[in-house]
Amino acid sequence: MHPQIVVAIGLVAAFCTTVSFIPQAVKTIRTRNTSGISLGMYVLFTTGTLFWFIYGLLSHSLPVTLANGITLIFAGIVLFYKIRYH
Amino acid sequence: MHPQIVVAIGLVAAFCTTVSFIPQAVKTIRTRNTSGISLGMYVLFTTGTLFWFIYGLLSHSLPVTLANGITLIFAGIVLFYKIRYH
């Protein structure tokens, strides 16, 4: 398969997984309903995203740093609301 | 910083973000409470994870393929319950 198609698939993947936490953050801010949300997931996921962010910085990878920096903000918002409003 | 420390940080990141969806899938299966969960997030995230999985296969990267294959299963379970039980 043409290398540029593979790169395009990677970019679509990165875009989707990065922006996916925005609708969750918006819903959580609006409803403050975090009952169905797993605290364990968001502690693990936010920790993992923070490590990816640090990994991106240390390996001088702008895509990894940028994507995980954005995800960290929105996943962090959901984690904050989950801790604050149970 | 020593290259092996950077690799270790990447492995911790991959582990955390991969397994993080397991507690959410378990909670969702147990409670069927998906009211606080964003459908938009899980449609986007599952799509993105599927693209990462395909990207991993096409670029012959076992870590990317394996991590996203596992995440796809558990994020897919949450998406199924969200669609099925609103």
Mean pLDDT of A52-68: 92
pTM of the model as a whole: 0.90
The structural architecture, per CATH, of the domain B3-85 is Up-down Bundle (1.20)
Q: Percentage of residues in chain A with pLDDT exceeding 70? A: 100
Q: Between chain A and chain B, how many beta carbons pairs sit less than 8 Å apart?
A: 135
| C-alpha dihedral sign at A70, B32, B65, A43 | positive
DSSP state of A1: -
Number of other CB atoms surrounding residue A59 within 10 Å: 15
B23 interfacial to chain A (CB closer than 8 Å): yes
Number of other CB atoms surrounding residue B24 within 10 Å: 25
A66–chain B nearest CA distance, Å: 15
Give the span between the Cα atoms of B62 and A1, in whole angstroms.
Answer: 18
B52 touches B64 (CB < 8 A):
yes
Helices A21-31 and A62-85: angle between axes, nearest 10 degrees: 20
**Where in chain B are the domains?**
3-85
* Predicted confidence (pLDDT) per residue in B42-83, tens digit: 999 999 999 999 999 999 998 889 999 999 999 999 999 999
B48 interfacial to chain A (CB closer than 8 Å): yes
B30–chain A nearest CA distance, Å: 10
Give the span between the Cα atoms of A15 and A19, in whole angstroms.
Answer: 6
- Please give the distance of CA B76 from its chain centroid, rounded to a whole number: 8
Give the span between the Cα atoms of A3 and B70, in whole angstroms.
Answer: 25
A26 interfacial to chain B (CB closer than 8 Å): yes
Whether residue A16 is predicted with pLDDT greater than 90 in this model: the reply is yes
| C-alpha dihedral sign at A47, B30, B42, A14 | positive
Mean pLDDT of B10-26: 95
User: CB-CB: which of B13, B15, B42 is closest to A55?
Assistant: B13
